[in-house]
């Protein structure tokens, strides 16, 4: 199985090498701003002509937004607008043009409805002090040295790694990996290089191919499994808040930059800002490490993992819980499970967003009309079952795997509910031992009508 994955390593750059990387990042930013100004001028000109009543066929010709069109325009004008272009690799300018082509494409797709999610605004110009320095290399000499402590990139030469690249080097030497690109960027004061690699991964099977686990994520516990296991929420951001407050206060006492007056930040402000950035980076690294260990363990052990399709963007609008939800990383758990189940020979089943996993009794199938967030135990009034709220939801999620198998090998075709649960009174669903509740269409019959459960799978 061939997949595309990334290998990221920290760099130890010399002052000269850091200046060279910053020059390439500046070249990418220059090409981006130049092309954006050109496109914006053309759009403004066409809008002004329309306001004067000029027919569409007589308007100023449009400029192509694709990457090849932007590159042709740049190559024709670079000698005039950037006489210094030979000092940097062509990949630096291609980095900026590619970023603009993607941004314009996303904006255009969002306007006409071809892109889901929030509306994407028109691209804005990049400013030096508010843009992460980054440059991407796709051609030229890109290799890992024999000592596995150095990498070679076009125009930048031999760069020292902060750690060994033996994992990537072994794959490259065995011929099971091919480097597609390399991106150098500065993240929280540390320069890093990320290799996008096409890897030939061996076919693997989970330790329990027939095992099914339902995963209910939350704040009190990061995850509650249908097996009864409780995974504590480490709350890395909460643990570091005292240190972050102290560093923020220290930063506020320094002389920082002022855009209105053009004042430059002091050296002490820059050092304090770097300390604050490192503290935030440590929190992010701890969170990322914990989520990777959790998702790797689940996908290597169980053949089927069932999760909910949570509206994380909507949950973040809750001002009381937004910080805790962001600290837990619900969306990251779902994303990692999506590709790791494929790597390990399993499957991921995603329950519909409106499936009432917390309101449904895992014993008899009765559905409650309402269940307040403060009620941490589920008490069923039909069968008398009293169970932890999150554990009950995890068991319901695990039961959906049997319904998915009943509906067929592909995704269930039933339409998912498009609104919240609005049942009146208690609705009981009889569930025979060892059988699924849904029929072959994925529809669960109830006394008050039908409750559709749309399931999707990721192989």
* Cα dist from 246 to 252, 362, 378, whole Å: 10, 47, 42
Distance, in Å, from the CA atom of 282 to the CA atom of 45, rounded to the nearest integer, reads 48
Catalytic residue among 91, 98, 216, 403: 216
Among left, alpha and beta (phi > 0; psi -120 to 50; other), residue 140 is left
Catalytic (active site) residue 216: yes
| CB within 8 Å of 178: residues ≥ 6 apart | 172, 197, 198
Catalytic (active site) residue 377: no
Tokens of 88: 């940097």
Q: What DSSP line would sit under 63-78, residue for residue?
A: ---SHHHHHHHHHHHH
Nearest to 136 by CA among 38, 27, 35, 39: 27
Q: What is the largest CA-CA distance in the chain?
A: 80
Among left, alpha and beta (phi > 0; psi -120 to 50; other), residue 47 is alpha
Tokens of 258: 């002022």
Catalytic (active site) residue 418: no
| CB within 8 Å of 353: residues ≥ 6 apart | 308, 309, 310, 311, 416
Nearest to 211 by CA among 358, 393, 310, 341: 341
Catalytic residue among 308, 327, 352, 403: 308
Catalytic residue among 91, 327, 352, 390: 390
Among left, alpha and beta (phi > 0; psi -120 to 50; other), residue 250 is alpha
Residue with tokens 């009146």: 424
Residues with active-site annotation: 216, 308, 390
């Amino acid at each position: 199985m061939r997949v595309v994955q990334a290998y990221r390593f920290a760099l130890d750059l010399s002052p000269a090498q850091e200046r060279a990387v910053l020059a390439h990042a500046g070249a990418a930013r220059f090409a981006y701003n130049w092309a954006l100004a050109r496109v914006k001028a053309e759009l403004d000109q066409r809008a002004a002509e329309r306001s004067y009543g000029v027919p569409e066929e007589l308007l100023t010709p449009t400029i192509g937004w694709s990457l090849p069109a932007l590159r042709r325009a740049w190559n024709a004008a670079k000698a005039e607008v950037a006489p210094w272009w030979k000092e940097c690799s062509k990949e630096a300018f291609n980095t900026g043009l590619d970023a603009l082509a993607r941004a314009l494409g996303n904006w255009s797709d969002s306007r006409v409805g071809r892109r889901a999610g929030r509306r994407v605004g028109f691209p804005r110009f990049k400013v030096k002090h508010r843009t992460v320095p980054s440059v991407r290399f796709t051609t030229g000499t890109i290799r890992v040295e024999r000592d596995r402590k150095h990498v070679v990139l076009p125009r930048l030469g031999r760069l020292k790694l902060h750690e060994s690249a033996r994992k990537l080097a072994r794959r490259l030497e065995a011929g099971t990996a091919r480097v597609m690109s390399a991106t150098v960027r500065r993240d929280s004061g540390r320069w890093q290089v990320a290799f996008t690699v096409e890897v030939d991964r061996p076919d693997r099977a989970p330790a329990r191919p027939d095992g099914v686990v339902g995963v209910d994520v939350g704040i009190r516990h990061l995850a509650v499994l249908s097996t009864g296991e409780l995974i504590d929420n480490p709350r890395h951001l909460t643990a570091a808040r005292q240190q972050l407050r102290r560093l923020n206060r220290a930063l506020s006492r320094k002389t920082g930059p002022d855009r209105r007056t053009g004042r430059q930040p002091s050296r002490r402000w820059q050092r304090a800002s770097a300390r604050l950035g490192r503290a935030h980076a440590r929190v992010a690294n701890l969170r990322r490490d914990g989520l990777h260990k959790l998702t790797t363990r689940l996908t290597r052990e169980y053949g089927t993992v069932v999760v909910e399709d949570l509206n994380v963007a909507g949950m973040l609008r809750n001002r009381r819980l937004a910080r805790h939800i962001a600290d837990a990383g619900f969306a990251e758990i779902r994303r990692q499970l999506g590709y790791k189940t494929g790597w390990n020979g399993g499957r991921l089943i995603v329950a519909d967003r409106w499936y009432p996993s917390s309101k449904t009794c895992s014993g008899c199938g009765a559905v409650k009309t309402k269940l307040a967030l403060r009620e941490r135990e589920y008490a069923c009034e039909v069968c008398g079952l009293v169970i932890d709220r999150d554990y009950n939801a995890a068991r319901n999620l695990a039961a959906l795997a049997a319904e998915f198998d009943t509906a067929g090998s592909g995704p269930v075709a039933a339409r998912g509910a498009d609104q919240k649960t609005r049942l009146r009174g208690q609705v009981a669903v009889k569930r025979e031992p060892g059988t699924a509740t849904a029929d072959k269409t994925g529809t669960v019959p109830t006394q008050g009508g039908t409750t559709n459960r749309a399931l999707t799978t990721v192989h």
